Amino acid sequence: MFRIIKKSLKTGVVTGRYPQSAAPHESIDPAAAEKAKPFRRSLVIREVDTGSCNACEMEMNALMNPVYDAERFGIRIAASPRHADALVVTGPVTINMERALKDVYKQTPDPKLVIALGDCAINCGMFKGSYAVTGPVDRHVPVDVRIPGCPPRPADILKVLTELCGKHDRH
């Protein structure tokens, strides 16, 4: 027990120890901002991977670590789409995942936001044109917010998400 307390004291607070997002500031589409209004102070996300290389998943996971600690802005991850306010979709939509994505979209209660995370979700990236890729996310479900990058840095993701929550990532 003493060892654990000592370790915690020695470590101190690490939240906010990351370089500020250098991504160009793009203000969120007013329609999306309007849609996000009910989720101010609390945004519950269900992450859906429709064929990404898993780098975007790693960065989403990083958001939950003590350094970025997205929970301090009221951003949480749900295990089921039925508990979610927003879907974060990564990767080009593969033929095998197309139906699953549409199902998840239907299962998510309204009002809901869809956030396309990463270049693949926005325009299929490297996998554009493949026989097994049916198109970017917005071909299958309406997309409200786009976060470009391959993969986007956690700070970039956090910047957009906090803006949706009506807060600013200041540390």
Partner 1 sequence: MAGPESHAAMLKAEFPSLVQIEGGGGGFSRFLVQKESLPAVAQYLHHHQKWQSRLALLWAVDDRPMREGASLHYLFALDNVRQWVVLSIELEGDDRLFPSITPHIHAAQWYEREIRDMFGLIPVGHPDLRRLVRHEHWPKGTHPLQKGFPWNEVLGRQQGNYRFLHIEGEGVFEVPVGPIHAGIIEPGHFRFSVAGEPIMQLELRHFWKHRGVEKLFEQRTLTDAVPLAERISGDTTVGHSLAYCQAVETLIGLEVPRRGRFLRSLFLELERLHNHVGDVGAICNDTAYSLPHAHCGRLKEQVMQLNDRLTGSRFLRGVNRVGGVTVDLTPNQLTEIPKELDRLEQDFSELESIIAANSSLIDRLETTGVLTTRTARDHAVVGVVGRASGLDYDLRRDRPFAAYGELAVKVAMYHYGDVRARMRVRMDEIHESIRLVKQLCATMPTGPIAAEPRLNSRLPKTPKAGEWALSAVEGWRGEILYMVMAGENETIHRCKVRDPSFVNWPAIQWAVVGNIIPDFPLINKSFNLSYAGNDL
Residue type, 167: K
115 sits near partner 1 (criterion: CB under 8 A)? no
Q: Is 56 in the site for partner 1 (CB under 8 A)?
A: yes
How far apart are CB 82 and partner 1 at their closest, in Å? 12
Q: Which helix (H) or strand (E) holds 135?
A: strand 133-135
In this structure, what token pair is assigned to residue 144?
């409200």
- 50 in contact with partner 1 (CB under 8 A): yes
Q: Does 58 bind partner 1 (CB under 8 A)?
A: yes
Supply the minimum distance, in Å, between the C-beta of residue 87 and partner 1: 10
The C-alpha atoms of residue 11 and residue 129 are separated, in whole angstroms, by: 48
Does 66 participate in binding partner 1 (rule CB under 8 A)?
yes
Query: In the set 81, 112, 122, 136, which binds partner 1 (CB under 8 A)?
Result: 81
Cα 145 from Cα 80, distance rounded (Å): 21
- 103: which DSSP letter? H
What are the beta bridge partners of residue 76?
44
Q: Is 67 in the site for partner 1 (CB under 8 A)?
A: yes
* Min CB(161)–partner 1 separation in Å: 14
Side chain identity at residue 2, one-letter code: F
Give alpha helix (H) positions in the chain.
2-11, 30-35, 55-63, 98-107, 119-123, 154-164
Written as six digits, the tokens of 163 are 């803006």
- Closest approach, Cβ 81 to partner 1, in A, equals 7
Residues 94-113 as x/- pattern, contact with partner 1 by CB under 8 A: xxxx--x---x---------
Residue recorded with tokens 């929550």: 165
Q: Which of 96, 94, 93, 70 is nearest to 141 (CA)?
A: 93
Minimum Å gap between C-beta 171 and partner 1 is 14
- List residues near partner 1 by CB under 8 A: 3-4, 7, 11, 14, 18-19, 47-62, 64-68, 77, 79-81, 91-92, 94-97, 100, 104, 125-127, 129-135, 150-151, 153
